[in-house]
Amino acid sequence: MKAQRVEMFVCPMDNPHDTSELQRLADEGKLKPDTLVALAGKTEGTGLFDDWGRIWADVALREWTARFLGIGVDKVAERVIFVLSGGCPGVITPHIAAVTREWIDAPERTHGDKRLVVGRAGSEPIAPEEVGRMGMIDKVAEATRQAMADAGLSDPADVHLVMVKVPGLTNASIHDAESRGKTVVTHDLTFGPEGAGVYGNDGAALGVAKALGEVPAGSLSDAVVRRNWDLYSSVAMTSSGGEKRHGEVIVFGNSTTSLSPLRIGHSVTNDFIDAEGVRNALRSAGLKFDGLPSESDLSRLVHVFAKSVIPGSDRVRGQRITLLDDVDAYQIGKALGGMLVASVTGRTTNYVSGGERNSHQGPPGGNIVAAVVRA
């Protein structure tokens, strides 16, 4: 019988094209061409539309991976999933987390504690007219189910993080849809509140929610996307980009069959200043503490993945904030999430993405936090 052994290596990057830590891991044999399954990280720069830091990092990491795997750059996407979130405002260290998965011949495990597994799947092609609508939701849901199967997971309760990348809209894809007599969900190509970016993200999030049964059967329709915020996933972290034609899903969960030294957990924050939500994610992953985690607890913490979506309301615990009217809200919103997490983890190498306003990723006003610990 084959069992998974999953590892995660968090590599700080000194500039957008710094692959030295990855190379060091490769030289040490910790990364191998046939075990590397995902690279997820934060790239330095503004995180805005014309953030060349993210784009340069993407190019540099794909070129490094192609060399490492001995394949063409155009083949890299078939082997390794890239999730690069741009923008490290505040106290977020630019870094890349490398995820490896080894299949080990092993006797069936007898003890019951669950350990980290990962699974991946690609979705059917998603047409422009499906972005942010049921078409996308259904296809992402199906891919999520396949990725769970790839991970060896069947119970949604064992799933703690689902990272998804889906196509967004572009002028070209809108034109394509409309020339075929179809409509698209929006003509706004930004990440603003009616932008294609957030419709793509949120369609994907609801797809995960559907697959995992996080929303009532029958509650989903085109009309609820970015309208009914009571429908959400607590484990989906999604991003969308115009350049892709199908979705990519990577599922992180725990399984008794795993031989990994790691375990994952998750929780949500209930509002924008809810540090206890971050601590609950650490507890969910297996750290046991009242009040605050100890140094010893934190030494077992491998990585945190968190969203920092801006609330739709200008009230936090009853008091007004002005964030929604701030021209820099996108970056400040992301920076605030970075601080909330860092103030708990005691470190700045955390994966925190976000900045957009409102989302089906996490509850209204709150956000998702997942944590990976050494078991």
Considering only the stretches 136-144, 149-157, 240-248, 288-296, report the one whose residues sit in contact with a second copy under the rule CB under 8 A.
Answer: 288-296
Place of tokens 């725990």: 254
Cβ atoms within 10 Å of 161's Cβ, excluding its own:
23
- Cross-strand bridge partners of residue 303: 372
Cβ atoms within 10 Å of 261's Cβ, excluding its own:
15
Q: Residue 187: what residue type?
A: H
Please state the closest distance from residue 95 (CB atom) to a second copy, in A: 8
Q: Toward a second copy, which CB reaches closer, 106 or 332?
A: 332
Q: Is-contact 26 68, C-beta < 8 A?
A: yes
**175 part of the interface to a second copy, by CB under 8 A:** no
Please state the closest distance from residue 211 (CB atom) to a second copy, in A: 27
**53 part of the interface to a second copy, by CB under 8 A:** yes
Please state the closest distance from residue 323 (CB atom) to a second copy, in A: 6
180: exposed, middle or buried (C-beta count within 10 Å: 0-12, 13-18, 19+)? exposed
Please state the closest distance from residue 310 (CB atom) to a second copy, in A: 10
What is the Cα–Cα distance from 116 to 256, expressed in whole angstroms? 9
Of 35, 56, 106, 270, the residue at the interface with a second copy (CB under 8 A) is 56
- At a CB cut-off of 8 Å and minimum separation 6, what does 108 contact? 1, 257
Q: Is-contact 155 257, C-beta < 8 A?
A: no
What is the Cα–Cα distance from 94 to 10, expressed in whole angstroms? 10
CA atoms within 13 A on the CB side of 110: 1
Of 189, 246, 261, 364, the residue at the interface with a second copy (CB under 8 A) is 189
Draw the binding track, 8-27, toward a second copy (x: CB under 8 A; -: no contact): ----x-x-xx----------
Q: Toward a second copy, which CB reaches closer, 23 or 93?
A: 93
Reply yes or no on whether 244 is catalytic. no
Q: Toward a second copy, which CB reaches closer, 89 or 366?
A: 89
Torsion of CA 323, 325, 330, 334, to 10 degrees: 0
Place of tokens 């297996």: 286
Q: Toward a second copy, which CB reaches closer, 82 or 330?
A: 330
Please state the closest distance from residue 214 (CB atom) to a second copy, in A: 24
Draw the binding track, 196-235, toward a second copy (x: CB under 8 A; -: no contact): ------------------------------xx--------
Q: Toward a second copy, which CB reaches closer, 156 or 193?
A: 193
**267 part of the interface to a second copy, by CB under 8 A:** no
Of residues 2, 8, 4, 36, the one with CA closest to residue 351: 8
Q: Toward a second copy, which CB reaches closer, 151 or 287?
A: 287
Kindly state the tokens that stand for 104. 């080990």
What is the Cα–Cα distance from 13 to 366, expressed in whole angstroms? 29
What is the Cα–Cα distance from 141 to 135, expressed in whole angstroms? 10
Reply yes or no on whether 258 is catalytic. no
Taking 3-state DSSP, the helix, strand and coil percentages for the chain, each rounded to the nearest 5, stand at 30, 30, 40
Of 34, 113, 155, 194, the residue at the interface with a second copy (CB under 8 A) is 194
Work out whether strand 236-241 and strand 159-167 pair parallel, antiparallel, or are unpaired.
parallel
Instruction: Please list every residue from 313 through 372 that binds a second copy, using CB under 8 A.
Output: 316-317, 319-323, 325-328, 331-333, 335-336, 339-340, 342-344, 346-349
Determine which one of 42, 114, 139, 165 is catalytic.
Answer: 165
By the criterion CB under 8 A, which residues form the site for a second copy?
Answer: 12, 14, 16-17, 44-46, 48-53, 56, 59, 88-94, 186-190, 192-195, 226-227, 272-275, 290-292, 316-317, 319-323, 325-328, 331-333, 335-336, 339-340, 342-344, 346-349
Q: Which residues are catalytic?
A: 165, 239
